[in-house]
Structure 1
Amino acid sequence: MIKKLFLIVAITFLTQSIHAQETQYQYLSGKDKDHTVAWDFFINTGMKSGHWDKIQVPSNWEQQGFGTYNYYKDTQNPEETGQYKYKFKVAKSNAGKEIFIVFEAAMTEAEVKINGKSAGPIHQGGFYTFQYNITTLLNFEGENLLEVKVSKQSADKSVNNAERKADFWLFGGIFRPVYLKILPKAHVDRIAIDAKANGTFNLDAYTANAPVGSVLKAQVQKLSGEKIGLDISSRITDLDKATTIKGQFKDINLWNPESPNLYQVIVSLSDANGKLIHRIKQKFGFRTAELRPQDGFYVNNKKVIFKGVNRHSEWPESGRTLSKALNIEDVKLIKEMNMNAVRMSHYPPDPSFLDACDSLGLFVINELTGWQAKYDTEVGTKLVKELVVRDVNHPSIVMWANGNEGGFNFDLDHLYAKYDNQSRLVIHPWERFNGTDTKHYPDYNYVVNTTLYGTDVFFPTEFMHGLHDGGHGAGLDDFWSMMMKHPYAAGGFLWSFADEGVTRLDRNGEMDIQGNAAPDGILGPHREKEGSFYTIKEIWSPVQITLKDLPVNFDGKIAVENQYAFTNLNQCSFEWRLAKLPAAGTNNMAKVSASGQLKGIGLLPGEKSFLTIPLPANWTSNDVLYLTAFDPYKKELFTWSWPVKMPVAPVATGTAAKSKIEFMETNKALTLKVDGIIYLFDKKTGYIQSVTNSKSEISLSGGPALAGVKCELKDFKHYTSGEDYILEPVYNSEAKFKVKWIFSSGKQVKLDYEYATQGEVDFMGITFNYPEANITGMAWEGNGPYRVWKNRLKGTSFGVWDTGFNNTITGESWKYPEFKGYYANIYWVTIKNKQAPFTVYTSKKNTFFQMLKPQKAAGATNNNTTPAFPDGDLGFLDAISPIGTKFQSADKLGPQSQKNMQLNYSWNKGSLWFDFK
């Protein structure tokens, strides 16, 4: 018992001793937006100004109800300044140690005092981590007073130009955590790791107060703590330089976004006699990242293609104050779109976001602020150091961006390598620089031209501007296909991840997206998914399946391509399902009749082959075939779907006995009564004007009208044909439009139509009118649940869908999917309404359905993102219009974005069946 007690005491003492030599942290603020600490606060102008109050830290003070909202530049109250006070204690046991106060970020200029004395020079720059050694200022016997004066405007004009005249929200306040960092007198200040793909390991250690002769030792471990290789060490010989520790490791697992393997290193500082003084722990990954001019970007000797997005650090209710959980969720959403890269626009993010990129796997471009103006050299030199020193050990970071769109101070370019022993590539986003062409918002012809003649590695760091519902998925298919033909392609980065919406406390919580300045996201402010989310997911899936329709005599073989950079497809898996879909008017669910799992096939990156689905003998009795690909971690990459059957005429209405068809004619109208349903036609136009069943009048009218073409009625024929009654409006020959209504007792009403077009048109097909105010929703069999554009057809799935009416304008309201718009591959559609629901069946695949017309966005300053629609409310179309982007009309975005072209007159035929029962 005594021996056991002695052992417990010894272990406890050893543990406490080792712990005492590690860096300790004492938080003065909370750690994120959901865990805050109240400080005293006074603001000089704006909301709740002129008196001392309480504020939660960290936070942007606007989102705490203080100060003034500004976007793009500080036009209102530019002199806004906040004063913070907070009292804290430091344990007596920390006397004799080195104590730093760390601010992870405060915008824009911060003056810090401890117990009434300055902690050091005023910090300028709102997005960077800074610290002061406050050891000599502290009172270890009682309370300490922290005072921080934060000004939105910096005394340095270049800081204001770089940070506060920029196309994003300009907040104020201490918006990231504040804490004390408590260290031994002699300690490891920081390290920089260069761990290459060949196992070479170089670590530069910077120490403070450590005498010559002290020893630095590095032990590399798996994250589980299991040691790998031998410990490596080096003796400090020069106090003015970093001490380098070198090693070589075998059989390591490399870091890449597809397999984000991480290690950790324990760095120990000991005196000349071997006594431990200080130790730190740092995660890292073995990987090599390099630009090869006139070739591409390589990671671990593999050419990589960036499938990336630009991401602002923002949440509607908390501004730039985020949380670890939210940062992880954003990384997961980026990866869910099958992206492998993210650009920090336009400032360094929270450390926890980079941690998530490391552990979950994303390439990162980390960026110095400078939207379209640059820091001067004096302040920029300090900020480059703060940027690189904080983030240098993240394996996810593969390059640095020195500003954005002209915000480049060339005198700063060489400084990155001063603090980065990996000497990662430095780029100027938007500029041809350093062997790269990162052109912003190229049109399709620019991509074609640079593919033919470009000499630089090509990866636009902003393209497919996602204003409202334009860009992103719309046009991406053509752009991406052409970009991949570039001999020096390295991918690109979409603009942007999420709408920059802010809930305005001065407007009762209204979401403000600043007109057309901020609704640029693939997701909404609260991460609501737009239709482009799924289009991107399909286009950028590393498992590519391009089968458009099931061919005649389909034998289960489907072509597949591996577009991973590092992963063999034998690490993936597949699942197939055959399903029968519910009929219109039922509440049944889809029923899976057969399914199975398939192992991945041995395909190296870039290789193609075939998957074979073991179809059952009766597989054609089903309605749809689904195939899902899963990555090595069992995450869905994408689910493809193919209808098995062609659209067919609906079954008979089920009337027990056929009734006589009655009609009544006046000079203006023709009325038919069939199976108790009354149909009214206008003899001047030939259009149906209303339908009345046993429940209600149905206000279907104005059709079928030929979309986009004015037709003059020449004759209105109607006659009996056997047991049927036929209506044939006859239009002027120039219209090239033929219509035949067929009424049969016991059957749904059939409409046959033909039309011919020539030249360029926005859309082709027929339309009807129906009052928008009456529509409550729709159910349909076809592609869904999202609407489509001519240049954004990918990303939907074939099935039966049901959605309620909404008047969502993408990026200005966020109830998704949007209701109004075009839908693809419609087999039938039920129009739900306040009168009586009715269903329309189609006769051919790839029929588009028009549900009303979306409103133009209030913030739209042009018509690029307002596609053309027919005049009617409900359309059955063979062709639809594309959508453009903020900066470019659709015709600048490639082949799929052009108008529909018929070189010669070509007849399009179709049939519809209407069920009004």
Structure 2
Amino acid sequence: MRFVRRLCIDELTGWQHKYDTLVGHKLVKEMVVRDVNHPSILFWDNGNEGGFNFQLDNDYALYDPQKRTVLHPWSNFNGVDTHHYPDYNGIVKATAAKDIFMPTEFMHGLYDGGAGAGLEDFWDKMMKHPQAAGGFIWALVDEDVIRTDRNNTYDGIGNRAPDGIPGPHREKEGSFYTIKEIWSPVYIHPEPIDKTFNGKITVENRYTFTKLSQCKFKWQLVKLPSATAKTTKAIATATGVPLPLELQPGQKGTLNLHLPANWATSDALYLTAYGTHGEELFTRSWAIKAPAAVAKAPVAGSNVAIKGQLTDNELVVKSDGKTYYFDKTTGYIEKVVKGGKEISLSGGPVLAGVNTTLKSFTYNAEGKAFVVEADYRGEATLHVKWTFAPGKRVKLDYTYTQTGDFDYLGITFNYPEEKVTGMKWLGRGPYRVWQNRLPGQQFGVWHKAYNNTITGQDWGYPEFKGYHGEVNWAVIENKESPFTVYMDNKNMYLQMYKPAVEKDLVKNVQPAFPAGNIGFLNAISAIGTKFRASNKMGPQSQKAHADGTPVSNTLWFEF
């Protein structure tokens, strides 16, 4: 059976090869007689992907008083187009046609691709057209089995089994939460909180039969811990239960949270929708403060003027007991030394994915501060300005200009992967994101230890490596000395290394990553599915376009 919100289609198997007619007659009778009284069954399936025995099509009605429609999944039959794995343009064309459109497989969840990735664009298009009846994701779980003849290891038959939303023991992937948000029957619209926010949220009743007044909501305003705190737990500053909203199935409305007057002093807002049995449907979260306004702990330091010293190959800057080394030939930071311990941050900032050459490298004192600047030219431009001031974090201002379409935009550094032990951050989490799979992650403070998990090949979730969304600050935990990076700009992505490659490589689910391994990015790459490259998966899956407008960001480093 294939399920969607407790509604399902009941399938006579026969994948790509049909049952012979003699056996098929018996199997159809047994299946329909067994399941005919299940109210959740909407359709019967006569085979799958070419496994259709047309001699059996009329048998279903013999045992079904409702004479429910018979489908041929993968084809257009009985007025229902069940096309498998269309690209985004295929969705556009199908929803404009006259037949009911219900792809019985339309997102293929191989490894970390498909499933939730690209789903929002597909679903938004389908929700706008009445002839779009829904769709089915392949598959529910990774279908790995334990091989007792192979030392009890899991066997996924190469890339044939890791198609699930969770793993073989229901280990949840990032796409699980994306699907939960997008397919929530009470859909909370993700408008950002800005200066015009008045405590009112747009909601939509996507139930088929249930009125929204049968559901409940609860909101929380919270304070979030700082980068130096030993906890990641949010502290509620206020809670509330909005009055029920009377919306019929399919209707949109505005939910008034009636927030307290001082709501803007909190760090984040959480809004949870509950179903008719009290089950949590989904929690939407919003950052209230801009990253630059997030509280930072005081920095210990002196009032002594910062000095720089030039050698044949390096510029050495000493500030508040720390020493910073820059390569004169590249302009890149080489390392930081603190209390005799070396912090191996190097190789940046580099403009991700484009070739540039150092054109100028300057340094000078500005009062008690010391400024290091570098200019790069080539396929793009990059201006870098480091400011070292007594008793303050190291400030990095940078501006870049690019023209064209790119997998990612921003800057990167290098740090030895073997020395990293974990990360703590304020942003979306705890799972990584892709450009076409941003929904599902909650805003808060998160922590995870280093791992080298390969989605669908092993199941140590959440994965450590990859892109992380809406990051305000991050603590890079390591074997040398932890360091923290704060971001002043909204909607920044943090890249933490590059995920390892699966044993059975499928190019579509191997997104592009910068050469550097710690990145601060304004745009990130999308991921495809088993059968579709990411650029075929809709507007959110396209490369980022840069039109030459300067992009400026500020980072603060605390070593």
TM-score range, shorter chain: over 0.9
| 1:872 aligns to 2:519 (yes or no) | no
Q: Matched residues in 2 for 1:726 and 1:470: separation?
A: 44
Matching residue's letter, 2:278? K
| 1:689 aligns to 2:334 (yes or no) | yes
Q: Matched residues in 2 for 1:572 and 1:674: separation?
A: 57
| 1:603 aligns to 2:247 (yes or no) | yes
| 1:380 aligns to 2:24 (yes or no) | yes
Which residue of 473, 487, 503 corresponds with 2:116? 473
Matching residue's letter, 1:646? A
Cα contact 1:572–1:599 (8 A) shared by 2: no
| Cross-structure match for 2:488 | 843
| Cross-structure match for 2:390 | 745
Deviation of the 1:396 alpha carbon:
1.8
| Cross-structure match for 2:284 | 640
- After superposition, the Cα gap between the structure-2 partners of 1:850 and 1:601, relative to the gap in structure 1 and judged at 3 Å, is same
| 1:899 aligns to 2:539 (yes or no) | no
| Cross-structure match for 1:175 | none
Count of residues paired in the alignment: 557
| 1:538 aligns to 2:192 (yes or no) | no
| Cross-structure match for 1:630 | 274
Name the TM-score, length of structure 1 as normaliser. 0.60
Matching residue's letter, 1:872? G
Superposed CA offset, 1:28-55 (max 9, x none): xxxxxxxxxxxxxxxxxxxxxxxxxxxx
| Cross-structure match for 1:826 | 471
3-state SS of 2:371 partner = strand
Cα contact 1:450–1:486 (8 A) shared by 2: no
Superposed CA offset, 1:282-312 (max 9, x none): xxxxxxxxxxxxxxxxxxxxxxxxxxxx76x
Name the TM-score, length of structure 2 as normaliser. 0.97
3-state SS of 2:207 partner = coil
Deviation of the 1:574 alpha carbon:
0.5
Deviation of the 1:734 alpha carbon:
5.3
| Cross-structure match for 1:504 | 147
3-state SS of 1:536 partner = helix
- After superposition, the Cα gap between the structure-2 partners of 1:527 and 1:734, relative to the gap in structure 1 and judged at 3 Å, is closer
| Cross-structure match for 1:773 | 418
| Cross-structure match for 2:533 | 889
| Cross-structure match for 1:427 | 71
Superposed CA offset, 1:55-101 (max 9, x none): xxxxxxxxxxxxxxxxxxxxxxxxxxxxxxxxxxxxxxxxxxxxxxx
Cα contact 1:465–1:520 (8 A) shared by 2: yes
- Residue segments in structure 2 that go unaligned for 5+ positions in a row: none
- After superposition, the Cα gap between the structure-2 partners of 1:661 and 1:366, relative to the gap in structure 1 and judged at 3 Å, is same
| 1:715 aligns to 2:348 (yes or no) | no
Coordinate RMSD, CA, aligned: 1.4
3-state SS of 2:202 partner = strand
| 1:801 aligns to 2:446 (yes or no) | yes
Cα contact 1:499–1:811 (8 A) shared by 2: yes
Deviation of the 1:737 alpha carbon:
0.7
3-state SS of 2:374 partner = strand
Which residue of 299, 302, 311 corresponds with 1:666? 311
Which residue of 160, 163, 167 corresponds with 1:520? 163
- After superposition, the Cα gap between the structure-2 partners of 1:908 and 1:656, relative to the gap in structure 1 and judged at 3 Å, is closer
3-state SS of 1:732 partner = strand
Cα contact 1:652–1:748 (8 A) shared by 2: no
Identity of aligned residues (%): 56
Matching residue's letter, 2:139? S
| Cross-structure match for 2:226 | 583
Superposed CA offset, 1:157-210 (max 9, x none): xxxxxxxxxxxxxxxxxxxxxxxxxxxxxxxxxxxxxxxxxxxxxxxxxxxxxx
Deviation of the 1:759 alpha carbon:
1.2
3-state SS of 1:818 partner = coil
Cα contact 1:830–1:839 (8 A) shared by 2: yes
Q: Matched residues in 1 for 2:129 and 2:503: separation?
A: 38
Matching residue's letter, 2:26? K
- After superposition, the Cα gap between the structure-2 partners of 1:599 and 1:746, relative to the gap in structure 1 and judged at 3 Å, is same
Superposed CA offset, 1:321-363 (max 9, x none): xxxxxxxxxxxxx8xxxx51xxxxxxxxxxxxxxxxxxxxx11
Q: Matched residues in 1 for 2:129 and 2:258: separation?
A: 38
| 1:620 aligns to 2:249 (yes or no) | no
3-state SS of 2:228 partner = coil
3-state SS of 1:829 partner = strand
Cα contact 2:354–2:379 (8 A) shared by 1: no
Matching residue's letter, 1:682? D
| Cross-structure match for 2:203 | 560
| Cross-structure match for 1:754 | 399
Map 1:455-466; keep pairs closer than 5 Å.
455-466=98-109
- After superposition, the Cα gap between the structure-2 partners of 1:440 and 1:843, relative to the gap in structure 1 and judged at 3 Å, is same
Deviation of the 1:420 alpha carbon:
1.8
Matching residue's letter, 2:329? K
Deviation of the 1:423 alpha carbon:
1.4
| Cross-structure match for 2:216 | 573
Q: Matched residues in 1 for 2:378 and 2:517: separation?
A: 25
Q: Matched residues in 2 for 1:739 and 1:406: separation?
A: 59
- After superposition, the Cα gap between the structure-2 partners of 1:731 and 1:384, relative to the gap in structure 1 and judged at 3 Å, is same
Q: Matched residues in 2 for 1:657 and 1:519: separation?
A: 56
Deviation of the 1:629 alpha carbon:
0.6
Matching residue's letter, 1:610? T
Cα contact 1:562–1:604 (8 A) shared by 2: yes
Deviation of the 1:383 alpha carbon:
1.3
3-state SS of 1:403 partner = strand
Q: Matched residues in 1 for 2:332 and 2:159: separation?
A: 40
Cα contact 1:652–1:746 (8 A) shared by 2: no
Matching residue's letter, 2:257? I
Q: Matched residues in 1 for 2:357 and 2:154: separation?
A: 48
Q: Matched residues in 1 for 2:61 and 2:296: separation?
A: 73
| Cross-structure match for 1:31 | none
Cα contact 1:808–1:814 (8 A) shared by 2: yes
- Residue segments in structure 1 that go unaligned for 5+ positions in a row: 1-309, 312-333, 341-361
Deviation of the 1:604 alpha carbon:
0.7
Cα contact 1:686–1:713 (8 A) shared by 2: yes
Deviation of the 1:617 alpha carbon:
2.0
